[in-house]
Amino acid sequence: MNRRDFMKSSIAKKGDRVLIKPNFSLSNAPDAATTTSPELVKEVVLMCKEAGAKRVTVADHTIRVAGLATVIKPQLTILDATRCLTTNGPSGPGEVVNLGKVMCSTDTVALDAYATTLLDWGGKTLKPEDIGHIKFAAEHGLGEMDLAKVEIVEVMPVKTG
């Protein structure tokens, strides 16, 4: 099974209703690393449709994801780390690092916790427990922030231009 087929089988099943919540709340270009790559969103929508999803909805900041996650647990979270804004976030402008990763997990908290460890943020090395929303979510049973309890598998980095 190739990577695309694996992702399709993980993203959606026949008849699923899928909500994709990219970060498009800022009007910056994708190179500024303050929004989700439109190409990634398009690819995820196509994979969901190819997998047989009944309906695919793309919605942005009108949905409060943290609150929603306490009612409906996301079945898969995809994190666009192709380009990461490491200073002056979340709106920039700032230093952009081309990390070249797209990560996914069934545990949103573990995914955010892992992403925290990939780079220095604003010149600081952070641990998951240093980030308020990660600590809060873990304390409220929404996921795991202790990376020693999480299996991390890197499939293949993506190429960035």
Could you read off the pLDDT of 10-69 as tens digits, one per residue?
677 888 888 787 776 667 777 767 678 888 888 888 888 888 889 888 876 555 555 666
User: Which residues make Cβ contacts (< 8 Å) with residue 54, sequence separation at least 6?
Assistant: 14, 15, 16, 17
In a domain, 140, yes or no: yes
In a domain, 122, yes or no: yes
Domain residues for the domain of 15 are 3-149
Q: What is the mean pLDDT of residues 141-154?
A: 88
In a domain, 160, yes or no: no
Closest of 69, 71, 53, 75 to residue 137, by C-alpha: 69
In a domain, 161, yes or no: no
Distances (CA, A) of 18 to 4, 49, 121: 18, 10, 32
In a domain, 97, yes or no: yes
Q: Which pTM does this prediction carry?
A: 0.72
Structural domains counted in the chain: 1
The answer to whether residues 34 and 26 touch, using CB atoms and an 8 Å cutoff, is: yes
Q: What is the mean pLDDT of residues 88-105?
A: 81
- Higher pLDDT pick, 76 / 117: 117
pLDDT averaged over every residue in the chain = 79
Which pLDDT belongs to residue 41? Answer: 85
